[in-house]
Structure 1
Amino acid sequence: MSTRTHYRACNLCEAICGLVIEVENEQVTSIRGDKDDPLSRGHICPKAVALQDLYEDPDRLKHPVRRTDDGWEEISWEEAYTAVVTGLQKVEKDHGRSAIGIYLGNPNIHNYGSALYLPDFIRSIKTPNTFSATSADQLPHHLVAYWMFGHYFFLPVADVDRTSFMLILGANPLVSNGSLMTAPGFGKKMRAIQERGKVVVIDPRYSETAAKADEHHFIRPGTDALLLLAMVHTLFAKEWVTLGHLETHSKNLEEVAVAVKKFSPTVVEGLTGISAAVIERITQEFVDAESAVCYGRMGVSTQEFGGLCLWLVNLMNLLTGNFDKAGGAMFTSPAMDTVLPNRKGNIDRWRSRVSGYPERFGELPVAAMIEEMTTPGAGQIKAFVTSAGNPVLSTPDGQSLDEALAALEFMVSIDIYINETTRHANIILPPTSGLETSNYDVSFQTLAVRNTAKFSEACFEKTPEQRHDYEIFQELARRLRHGDYQPLAEKPEQMVDFALQMGAYGKTGLSLQQLKDQPSGVDLGPLQPVLPERLFTEDQKIDLAPKALLEDLERIAKKLTVSTSGNAEFPLQLIGRRQLRSNNSWMHNSERLVKGGERCTLLIHPEDAEKYDVEDGQLVMVKSTAGTISIKAEIKKEMMPGVVSIPHGWGHARSGVKMKVAQAHPGVSINDLTLPGFVDELSGNAAFSGVPVSVQKG
């Protein structure tokens, strides 16, 4: 009997919790939290077991497959590569490069093979039609960072280990353990904040985090920017503004003061649902705290004023002297630094063909995907590539996208499942699963609440018939470039080793070998002030009032004259919700993650249930201008009256899906209700929070 212990970071979500995996006779016997991991310190969530489930899943593809009239058939890698390159090149020859589209799901960023080598493959196709989960998630964060700090990935992180007051908007970190804030074990961190001070949550739902916070306030979806404007207004009105050590390294403060004048607490209270007295009190408590941090995430990012929200979140931290300061919003000093001067990003170099959406950092927004596939003319997308993504369930108007994919001339997917999206592919190329790959968290170490570094070896060797993700991308790039392609390094760990030695800690001997020798990870200490030296703006100053954001205030100012009575045809507002045992649609094929009571339900407040004659557990019809779904109602006081909630990632009842567990627990897709044209006009990010809907008995 052979036994061994394997250490790794879980790569299923942003928390990257350290794991100890016991293996006996090449079978996983246990997965537990690693108490020696300097970031997670033993924390683990139920999703970690899904690493084993993904590895052992009989539905997981291990060989390339081709769709035929008689079903799917396994083919060799040589056949698969040839078919992919032939299919893409034919479409390019017949229709031009713009006729190819690419969609990248967020699991790509969780695997360093994809993160480091996928860009080479994309450049080989040379299409302007690249889309990703970024514009269905966090694009406003990147755009605001680009305008204010000069780099799209220079994102501030809440220093939760040292703050004494945390204001949380549109986020549920007790469930997510942080998002764009890698904070495993947030529950313990939150209790420590409360011992030092206070946690306040602003959310249309009384979420798991709200239930444990010191204070919670309901807010109408889509009005968070008005609340934040009123708070910034209060800072100026009460003369509480202080920039601290960044005063001489910031500009356009007066422009901010002028811009927020009309948005007083008394003006916005009726629209937000939060009284002027409460707004002023929370602002004062934020200012009076020894240290404070404002944190906003999905609920403020994926709404029609996402860009304004993230700008104002930054302003709350900056204007109170809580920026680049212990306990406030800080920047990491990662061992492998990807926030480099030559990678600051670019915007608006081209626009989408149909609606004219501007390009952001090499991508067009997912809101444009369907119309780019269905609108005839030069540049219409005829071929499509997906990598680790399921946009039929995760982007707006999934039903229409489903139909558009079915009409394509050619499609290829790099994925381990035949799911709601990949079932339309002609060829599927499956990479290895998490336990078969090594990994270094290129992005999430850059977003962690503590500076650490960790390298995970592969737990199991891949078979000779399998391919790693980076091997797939390298081979496709070589063939598409007719052999004229040489990667910077043949393996991702070589790139990591070089980056570590060239990084801030390389001088002290940090290398890949050191991380391999310390498999639980290396502690590099708490976050440290890095400004102004790390600013990427040309004048080395923080732009407090970027022109595009000031101009966007005209759009939200119109809200001040709009009645709050709502839409007569669609009187309710729909929001999503995060669940502890679910992150993305592809994790629903794990029996232990989906077992138990039904979780894909419509949460509705008792007042609304009575108003629309809805009973608990009853099937109801939820309708928007995009479509109609049938879902079980769950009456809960945790919802704000006038607001209903459906979780993201479900909807597995479509034909042709080869995921037995997921199909046995199908649920319905919230994105059969969301609208392609409902976006944050500033960034192009899809707006999922605040979709107008109606509810009636089924």
Structure 2
Amino acid sequence: MPEQYNVSCPMDCFDLCRFLVTVENNRVTGLKGDPDHPLTRGAVCAKARQLITRHHHPERLTQPLIRTDSGFSPISYEKAIPLVADKLDRIIRRHGPTAVLNYTSAGYGGAKNGIQNIFFNALGGDSRFTGSLCWGAGMAAQKYDFGQARSNFPLDVLNADLVILWGRNPKVTNLHLYKLLTQAEKKGTRIIVIDPNESSTARRFGNHIRVLPGTDGALALALCHVIITEGLTDDAFIADHVLGFKRFSKTIATFSPERAQKITGVPATTIRDLALEYSRTPKAAIYPGYGMQRYSNGGNAVRSINALAAITGHIGYSGAGIHYASKSMSPYISGPEARSEGWVKDRRTFPAHGLGAFLAQADDPPVKAAFFFCANPMVQTPDLTRAMAGLKQVEFKVVFDQFMTDTAACADLIFPAATVFEQDDIFTTSMFSHWINVSEQAVKPPGPLIPEFEFYLKLSAHMDMDLGFSSSREFLDQCTEPLISALKLANDFDGQDLEELGASYARFSDHDIAWHDRHFATPSGKIELFSHRAAEDGLSPLPEYFAPLSPSATYPLRLLTCHTVSAMHSQGMMDNTGLPEVFVSAHTAETFGLSQGIEVEVKGEGGTIKAVVKIDDAIMKNTAFMYQGYWHKSGAVNFLTCERVTDMGGQAAFYEAFCNLSPAG
């Protein structure tokens, strides 16, 4: 008889969908959205449906592999675990723990994702990255302005009269926000999209404002200028809840719509109209995306957008707010990993955008071992040529993955990764959802495969290490006990254990409206337009605009590398063997002598790949648009990029990339 299990989507996505998974004879046969979940409501995206394809894929790795002179050969866990232990012991005894690179990312979003960090903390330390390849500049902006990132309950968008999607394309990256917006539109909500390109979301809702790439901050400051000069600020809110308004007003006194038009390409009349509409619509919400903070000025751009809510008072009530991210559940389940930080004796860090530089330059000690977990940096990190050259110098490389990715192909030892269907876990990874997902194990792993969490339990036992727990259930209980206690204290849950939590749709109802008490998590307790924290970090205390980098004669096109609707980064790209597409406007195609469907060389500052031309006037002229995530066998876009960083948050400035196009010879 078929059985049904509650399983969470494991991907690093806004929505954190909950699935109902059907199993027959230890085989996953079906997946659908949980119709009773308040957000998922039965709907799942193409990326989620692909999870079953990945799970059953004939090329999926199911046993450990070791590099030999003739390629990769199978090795048992019984032999591989002592090998790893011996290598680590030898390297750490000679060079110390920082000779080991611990590279963990968000390819899997469960609490068990932290097991590799806990292991290396228990081992005494490591080398690991700080900053982000995703959202770091915007998160730093939230810290400086509000103290932390919070957003209203997702369904609250239905209460807004005006929604501004600023560099956000939810039809591709945030399905359930998109569905909620279609409902909101039917009841009269006006939806405006600010984006350099006419995204699929912009086409759906209209009201599209094209802004030149990297100039979002200038647009936001000009909007603030209009609101202030027209006397449309909320003076009572500012007096009680905003720090630094007078100084902020002085800095933008000359940032007129006419000045901003020259910078952004947005007509001054459009800027004025938008400023008046936003300030005069009390229930106005802004949803910034993450692409617009991937420029060298990205953090300041987000701070400038935050300022709009501060000066109008459009925050702290239903239908309003700045919705960059929300992590209301995550702090409660991080106990085991947070505790393990106290075990660290030595740690070396490097910026997330600079893996290649770090591997090349680290010499005290050099990196002797590298462990890659929930990550495929040989596709996703900037300047792949430099990163791959650096990785070749590393003596011992271990990769955990479900497939022979481009990172796995560089390894000396590969351990197969379990799918989400093969292990129990808890998930709070969404940047949008306010719920927790307790995910059940639906099937047993294939053959000899040991889930990564169990691998590290076995490795730590072999090395006589105590991680603070000895089983999956003990770990999950340690994670959820503080959360359950907090939910019960808030009268949002009346259960006792993990099973009851999993059967519920519990959330913190007090978090439904971000900053409803108007007490912000900054040192002053106010929104800080003037941030002493930013000043202490060597930044301007006030939001500021400075121009992004410009194209050159050699690389005359700005390159934007965005998400595809069908895959989460490189996950799901394993079957793509054709060339990637490069999208350009008809104007750009004519300028460069290109025609539809021809093969071209895309030459970037980091290297060259081939692609097929697609002419599409949704793309801004003088810009090339490509989807990221393609593997080397097709053409990875990060062979084109360089190791550049944003103004704050250690975010990789992926959109400060430039290229040239020429017909392939």
On whether the aligned pair clears a TM of 0.5, the verdict is yes
Q: Does structure 1 retain, via aligned residues, the 8 Å contact 2:336–2:468?
A: no
Per-residue CA deviation, residues 373-420 of structure 1 (Å, 9 max, x unaligned), is: 112632332321111111111010112212221221111122222210
Residues in 1 aligned to 2:541 and 2:202: alpha-carbon distance in whole angstroms: 29
Unaligned runs of 5+ in 2: 340-346
Per-residue CA deviation, residues 625-648 of structure 1 (Å, 9 max, x unaligned), is: 211111111010110111110101
Instruction: Give, in angstroms, the shift of residue 61 of structure 1.
Output: 2.1
Partner of 1:439: 425
Residues in 1 aligned to 2:220 and 2:447: alpha-carbon distance in whole angstroms: 55
Listed as ranges, the matches of 1:82-481 within 5 Å are 82-108=82-108, 110-115=109-114, 117-127=115-125, 129-131=127-129, 135-151=132-148, 159-177=156-174, 184=176, 186-193=178-185, 195-242=187-234, 247-329=239-321, 334=328, 337-338=331-332, 364-375=350-361, 377-444=363-430, 447-449=431-433, 451-462=434-445, 465-477=448-460
Residues in 2 aligned to 1:431 and 1:544: alpha-carbon distance in whole angstroms: 45
Partner of 1:582: 567
Partner of 1:686: 652
Q: Does structure 2 retain, via aligned residues, the 8 Å contact 1:66–1:427?
A: yes
- Which of 607, 612, 634 aligns to 1:627? It is 607
Residues in 2 aligned to 1:400 and 1:184: alpha-carbon distance in whole angstroms: 38
Cα 1:682–1:453 change in 2 (3 A) is: closer
Structure 2 residue 487 is matched with structure 1 residue 504: yes
Residues in 2 aligned to 1:88 and 1:343: alpha-carbon distance in whole angstroms: 21
Instruction: Give, in angstroms, the shift of residue 602 of structure 1.
Output: 0.2
Instruction: Give, in angstroms, the shift of residue 74 of structure 1.
Output: 2.1
* Partner-residue secondary structure (3-state), 2:399: strand
Q: Does structure 2 retain, via aligned residues, the 8 Å contact 1:574–1:690?
A: yes
Cα 1:474–1:681 change in 2 (3 A) is: farther
Partner of 1:657: none
Per-residue CA deviation, residues 411-436 of structure 1 (Å, 9 max, x unaligned), is: 11222222101211112222321111
Partner of 2:342: none
Residues in 1 aligned to 2:454 and 2:243: alpha-carbon distance in whole angstroms: 47
* Partner-residue secondary structure (3-state), 1:89: helix
Cα 1:192–1:363 change in 2 (3 A) is: farther
Specify the code of the residue in structure 2 equivalent to 1:148: D
* Partner-residue secondary structure (3-state), 2:300: helix
- Which of 639, 643, 651 aligns to 1:672? It is 639
Cα 1:460–1:315 change in 2 (3 A) is: same
Aligned-residue identity in percent = 22
Partner of 1:658: none
Residues in 1 aligned to 2:389 and 2:127: alpha-carbon distance in whole angstroms: 19
Partner of 2:530: 545
Residues in 1 aligned to 2:229 and 2:338: alpha-carbon distance in whole angstroms: 35
Cα 1:96–1:529 change in 2 (3 A) is: closer
Cα 1:156–1:458 change in 2 (3 A) is: same
Specify the code of the residue in structure 2 equivalent to 1:635: I
Residues in 1 aligned to 2:197 and 2:541: alpha-carbon distance in whole angstroms: 26
Structure 2 residue 9 is matched with structure 1 residue 10: yes
Q: Which moves more between the two structures, 86-95 or 521-530?
A: 521-530
Cα 1:85–1:252 change in 2 (3 A) is: farther
Specify the code of the residue in structure 2 equivalent to 1:625: E
Instruction: Give, in angstroms, the shift of residue 256 of structure 1.
Output: 1.9
Residues in 2 aligned to 1:222 and 1:258: alpha-carbon distance in whole angstroms: 23
* Partner-residue secondary structure (3-state), 2:627: coil
Residues in 1 aligned to 2:461 and 2:301: alpha-carbon distance in whole angstroms: 43
* Partner-residue secondary structure (3-state), 2:132: helix
What is the aligned length? 646
Instruction: Give, in angstroms, the shift of residue 295 of structure 1.
Output: 1.9
Q: Does structure 2 retain, via aligned residues, the 8 Å contact 1:166–1:199?
A: yes
Partner of 1:559: 547
Cα 1:685–1:239 change in 2 (3 A) is: same
Cα 1:143–1:118 change in 2 (3 A) is: farther
Instruction: Give, in angstroms, the shift of residue 262 of structure 1.
Output: 3.4
Specify the code of the residue in structure 2 equivalent to 1:586: Q
Q: Does structure 2 retain, via aligned residues, the 8 Å contact 1:51–1:435?
A: no
Residues in 1 aligned to 2:84 and 2:295: alpha-carbon distance in whole angstroms: 37
Q: Tell me the TM-score normalised to structure 1 length.
A: 0.84
Specify the code of the residue in structure 1 equivalent to 2:311: L
- Cα RMSD (Å): 3.2
Instruction: Give, in angstroms, the shift of residue 586 of structure 1.
Output: 2.3
Residues in 2 aligned to 1:629 and 1:556: alpha-carbon distance in whole angstroms: 36
Cα 1:686–1:91 change in 2 (3 A) is: same
Q: Does structure 2 retain, via aligned residues, the 8 Å contact 1:307–1:680?
A: yes
Residues in 1 aligned to 2:215 and 2:51: alpha-carbon distance in whole angstroms: 38
Cα 1:365–1:547 change in 2 (3 A) is: same
Residues in 2 aligned to 1:162 and 1:545: alpha-carbon distance in whole angstroms: 31
* Partner-residue secondary structure (3-state), 1:630: strand
Specify the code of the residue in structure 1 equivalent to 2:605: T
Q: Does structure 1 retain, via aligned residues, the 8 Å contact 2:301–2:545?
A: no
Residues in 2 aligned to 1:394 and 1:30: alpha-carbon distance in whole angstroms: 30
Unaligned runs of 5+ in 1: 178-182, 346-358, 654-666
Cα 1:270–1:201 change in 2 (3 A) is: same
